Chains A and B, each alone.
Chain A
Amino acid sequence: MSFLPGTLHTRYRDEVRLLDSGFMRFWCAAGLFAALITPLALSNFWTGIANQSLIAIVGALALNLLMGVTGQISLGHAGFLAAGAFTAAALATHFNAPIVVSLVCAMIGGALIGVLVGLPALRLKGLYLAVSTLAAHFVIVVGLGQYQNAASDGAGFAMPPPSAFGFSISTERQWFYALLPVAIVVLLIQINWLRSEFGRAWMAIHHRDVSAEVLGINVARYKLYAFSASTALTCLCGALSAYHTGFVSVDAFDVHLLIQYLAMVIIGGLGSLLGAILGAIFVIVTPHLITVAANAMSPLQGMGGKIFEIEIGLFGVIMLIFLVLEPRGLAGIWARVSAYFLLWPFKFRAWES
């Protein structure tokens, strides 16, 4: 964080602070202000998209924790999202649980699932791990499908409009002001984890787990921590999206959803928090931008029913272009751009920092 020349700390307290320079403090405040007035500037529809992005940010940060930081390939993400969503659905339908209770239960359930999935994963690596997490996904989804057939005759669950702390959350604007603090808190928790012993252990495991073991890190224990932390946050994301969408059905949690989240962390930039955030916003917002562009350029005439297929293809093309041009992702682009401005008029730094 202290990459600006001339930032000198004289107290330990300043070293530990998150926002340790006036520059950072100013821009964070400006960003917070911009975030707060966003719903006032956007239409109802786009505020809804912003809400979806906030929820996706939670999910992407969770996946980034497992894949980017700890290096564990996990293809079970869609299954964990489903677990969170169905926990919320079951609690709301059968027990009329308030949203806060649902979210907490989803997180606890997620942590447990994380341990369950993580235990067999301790010995696995690479492709083997990917296949077993994918198997976990199918087990969860098929099981939840059976539950859906039994409890709702296959039709799915409608979620009641939530209310927390006396405020009812029904319009998109209210959702935004409810989701924004959640996303910020999750981000702060992640930053804290990464700066703590957990983060250091996880990054060591990612680099070379044999060396980490030799250094005294209990690799098994920290891998389990990673799995349960990531899955807990993923279930939180699933539960939030269940309430926001208002409808839960197992068909929504398919391989497409997994690919979306993989795209978020990879296009964003594996291993970076900023990357997960940017990737989440990118994957959620871009298809809608494509639709707007397509409608503006050629209304349905001339394209006919092809327009829907073309929009999907265009998203794939944009993903490809991003991956090929900047494999380090959006965070990589950000790093390049900010380095350019920070070092200007110099092209590179003469020493490593």
Chain B
Amino acid sequence: MGLLVIIFIQASFYALLGLGYVLIYRATRVLNLAHGDLMVFGAYLFLQTLIETGGNVPLAIVLGLAGSALLGVIVYEGVLRPLAGYPVAVGVLATIALGIVLRSLTTVIWSGQTRYPAEYIGELGRPIPVFAGLSVSVIDALIILVAAASMIVLPILLQRAAVGVSMRAVAENALLASQRRINIHRVNALSWALATGMAGIAGVFFSLKVRLGPDIWYVGLAGFAPALIGGMDSLRGAAVGAVIVAAAEVLAARFIAPQIALAAPFLVLLVALWIRPWGLYGSREELERI
């Protein structure tokens, strides 16, 4: 039972990242290799707010979220928008370069020293025994809640809200959507803001649970696997993929060997690509593009 909860906590973290990858892919058709660095930047904004306000956690989370979202808009307008229409390899290299810049920026501003934001949240991080030897902290519960909320809100947004329908239109055929008077740049900016906002929250949770340093950007890379497994253009797929990858990682670490835990997401990815290259819920045409 306890194992299930741990899997869900890990899955929530992966879901937040994976949903971000999918949103960005649907909007700008590019694999965002800077997602991990965007996540780290959001976490650092969170830490800085904690330091400045002396431990005001809700404000710090809000500012971390808002800052990440704003960064996403800036990245879209500054980097991806000028590159619309060019070969995808150019966009991917641009995200790689962006990742390099963000990593250097965070190291210059905050130094490469490892930080532990958990020291500012005091009791909130303390595990509360729930049952049968399992302890869950408020932070763990929060991450499950946030991930679940996104998985409920996003589909509703896409189905009902006008802006959501626009997002779906742009994802399906951007050219046609632009000719139907949908402001695709505003829609894409919104997608990016949502994606990076979720990444920022994921970063906040990771930094509270484990540690914060410019070197944890690789964790963002692991979020790429659930997105691919579920299908790069399917939000539902990202959620399902997150559960699969998290289960594989936790179970492999617990019952085979801890060393596999790092490779588990990528191993699952290779197997999934072998069986079903376009992902569980992805569309076949996407396979042709990078």
Contacts and interface: CB of A to CB of B under 8 A. Distances in A.
A–B: direct contact at CB < 8 Å? yes
A164 interface: no
A262 B287 contact: no
B89 A270 contact: yes
B160 interface: no
Interface of A (DSSP majority class): helix
Nearest to A256: B100
Contacts of A125: 287-288
B90 A127 contact: no
A267 B93 CA distance: 9
Given A309-B108, A310-B108, A313-B105, A324 B287 contact: no
A259 interface: yes
Contacts of B130: none
Interface string B91-111: 001101111110111011000
Interface stretch (A128-136, A187-195, A246-254): A128-136
Interface in B240-289: 269-270, 273, 277, 287-289
Interface in A298-341: 306, 309-310, 312-317, 319-320, 323-325, 327-328
Interface residues of A, number: 31
Contacts of A131: 269-270, 273
A266 to B, nearest CB: 5
B93 A266 contact: yes
B85 to A, nearest CB: 9
A262 B103 CA distance: 19
Interface in A108-127: 125-127
Contacts of A262: 89, 93, 96
B87 interface: yes
A312 B104 contact: yes
B290 A126 contact: yes
Contacts of B270: 131, 135
B163 interface: no
Interface residues of B, number: 33
Given A126-B289, A131-B270, A266-B93, A313 B82 contact: no
B148 to A, nearest CB: 29
Contacts of A128: 273, 277, 287
A320 B82 CA distance: 11
Contacts of A306: 108
Contact of B93 (A127, A315, A323, A328): A323
A81 interface: no
A205 to B, nearest CB: 14
B218 to A, nearest CB: 10
Interface string A49-80: 00000000000000000010000010000000
Interface string B184-212: 00000000000000000000000000000
Contacts of B131: none
A152 to B, nearest CB: 25
A327 B83 contact: yes
Interface of B: 31, 78-79, 82-83, 86-87, 89-90, 93-94, 96-101, 103-105, 107-108, 112, 228, 232, 269-270, 273, 277, 287-290
Given A126-B288, A130-B290, A324-B79, 9 more contacts: A127-B290, A266-B93, A309-B107, A312-B100, A313-B103, A313-B108, A314-B104, A323-B97, A324-B82
